[in-house]
Chain A
């Protein structure tokens, strides 16, 4: 779990997109931002994790439609990447050349073009904006290889911006009710917790970005928020077992 800033802005989830297979970073940031992400790759190689996650992931500097807010415009997981129609041909080609062949890059013609705000996904399941086109839903299911659910989080239709989702857990908008939390947990089959990031920011998708073994949050994130993130995404490798057990009890409330 790494805290960083992009151009002195703590909204890391806006300027980057992290998945299990690749990481997209906006151009125009300082090299520190870029090197943080490459550090995570090395950190990971030295640690002892399951071999399936031992691949080096490519880090791609890009822009989408000439903008830096790439984290909010695109949606992706290890199977594919969806970009909006505003993406230029050159950017699309750059993405295709830089990403591994296993990742399918697809541009979507869709009225709602901020796909990062409308789609929250991990490698198995995706939450979608309720007003998304039927064809777009099919493309998501096809390209990302996920099951798509049209849902709202805390009554908010922008699911991508209100939650941070990985294969091992998720954080949702702090105002999500317990019933909603349970429902979403069963849908997504991961433990969920309602929390905040960046000193109480409710827009979790914009404040942090996460994959199975690392999370990036803004440097404004408090220690409490960080511990929540660590526990729900199971990021810390070694924990004293008593603490883990205690946390597990509270976390199991969200399973069904």
Chain B
């Protein structure tokens, strides 16, 4: 028994599921369900079909390059059975699985988080372009020539006037 990946959507195919198509050049295509099989028959490219893993990998939606992927690959040179090695491998499988899925979740998190630098730059640009909504364009000139001038209070004159 071997769990294989669907050629179209890359989900795992469990025993008793799906269809296997062998082409004339002896290449084997495995499909997890008729949805994938029918899409294949329609000659759709999985890299363009949004819900497949191939699309998500090709468009950077999902994590593609990570060392934790190297553990799960098809090996063609077996090693002699050793009980301890098998035991350790089983434990390691669980751990690696946990690590890999947390890394994938992190990847998606990072992708969805707002990008602060980008937002800052766009805001600065917006201010530069649209500052006229707040201030008149001419007033810029006056503002730049603005200086501090000492102002003498005319209070005593006014008070005298009022008193009279």
Which residues of A pack against B, CB within 8 Å? 88-89, 92-93, 95-97, 101, 104-109, 111-113
Contacts and interface: CB of A to CB of B under 8 A. Distances in A.
B77 A106 contact: yes
20 contacts: A89-B2, A89-B78, A92-B78, A95-B78, A96-B78, A96-B79, A96-B80, A96-B81, A97-B80, A97-B81, A101-B80, A104-B77, A105-B77, A105-B78, A107-B76, A107-B77, A108-B76, A111-B25, A112-B26, A113-B26
Interface string B25-67: 1100000000000000000000000000000000000000000
Contacts of A93: 78, 81
B21 to A, nearest CB: 16
Given A101-B80, A105-B77, 17 more contacts: A88-B2, A89-B2, A89-B78, A92-B78, A93-B81, A96-B78, A96-B80, A96-B81, A97-B80, A104-B77, A105-B78, A106-B76, A106-B77, A107-B76, A111-B25, A111-B26, A113-B26
B67 to A, nearest CB: 24
A108 B26 CA distance: 14
Instruction: Sort chain B's interface into a size bin.
Output: under 10
A123 B150 CA distance: 107
A94 to B, nearest CB: 9
A88 B1 CA distance: 8
Question: What 7 pairs between A and B have smallest CB-CB spacing?
Answer: A107-B76, A96-B78, A111-B26, A92-B78, A97-B81, A93-B78, A106-B77
Interface string B61-100: 0000000000000001111110000000000000000000
Contacts of B78: 89, 92-93, 95-96, 105
